[in-house]
């Protein structure tokens, strides 16, 4: 009796998700950086508003990458399909990363010569910048035209760059902490765990 009830509940959830448009996801997702900027200007982000703004954006970007990575395992284990919203969530993660980078470039450093020196000399910045660069082609091809132009197999291979970018983003957070804090390590463990779960069916097929 339990399994039919779960199946019915899953079908109901998926029915609601199918009827829900994607544009509110973009609209609502665009608001946090704007709100945090307002808080920073009005004194709502503490004594170091730029650093706090930068940290909030970076962590939100990593959280959104985790959500995107979790969509396929969620469908595998529960049947709940969020595939419809994956593109929106992925583009929002790139938006947050871009805002994070701009805050660091413009408000934190403010000197292009020093920016390049920091990228070269500070490993955690090098890793974070590598994650951002890997996501540029992913974001640029997150549209139906790119899928038609590249073909689905090539498009899927290109978008696997987001897996490496997510790992690098988590490593960037760990390195940024400079000491072994639990939160950054948890993000890294979750990212690696989700990627392992995604890879498991392919590994089983190869072994078969």
Residue 7: the pLDDT is 62
Kindly compute the dihedral angle of the four CA atoms of residues 44, 50, 56, 62, in this order, to the nearest 10 degrees: 170
Other beta carbons less than 10 A from residue 6's beta carbon: 12
CA distance from start to end of the chain: 34
Cα(59)–Cα(86) distance, rounded to whole angstroms?
19
Residue 109: the pLDDT is 85
**Span 84-118, pLDDT tens digits:** 999 999 999 999 999 999 999 998 887 777 888 88
pTM of model > 0.85: yes
CA distances from 145 to 81, 141, 152, 159 (A): 23, 8, 11, 15
């Amino acid at each position: 009796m339990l399994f039919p009830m779960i199946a019915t509940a899953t079908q109901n959830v998926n029915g609601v998700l199918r009827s829900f448009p994607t544009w509110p996801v973009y609209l609502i997702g665009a608001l946090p950086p704007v709100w945090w900027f307002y808080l920073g200007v009005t004194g709502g982000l503490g004594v170091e508003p730029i650093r706090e703004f930068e940290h909030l954006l970076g962590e939100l970007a990593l959280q959104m990458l985790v959500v995107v990575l979790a969509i396929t395992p969620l469908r595998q284990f529960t049947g709940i399909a969020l595939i419809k919203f994956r593109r929106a969530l992925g583009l929002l993660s790139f938006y947050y990363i871009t805002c994070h980078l701009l805050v660091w470039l413009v408000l934190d450093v403010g000197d292009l010569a020093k920016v390049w020196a920091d990228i070269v000399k500070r490993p955690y910045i090098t890793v974070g910048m590598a994650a951002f660069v890997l996501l540029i082609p992913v974001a640029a091809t997150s549209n139906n035209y790119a899928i038609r132009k590249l073909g689905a197999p090539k498009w899927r291979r290109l978008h696997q760059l987001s897996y490496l970018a997510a790992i690098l983003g988590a490593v960037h957070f760990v390195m940024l902490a400079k000491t072994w804090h639990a939160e950054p390590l948890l993000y890294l463990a979750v990212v690696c765990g989700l990627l392992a779960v995604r890879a498991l069916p392919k590994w089983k097929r190869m072994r078969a």
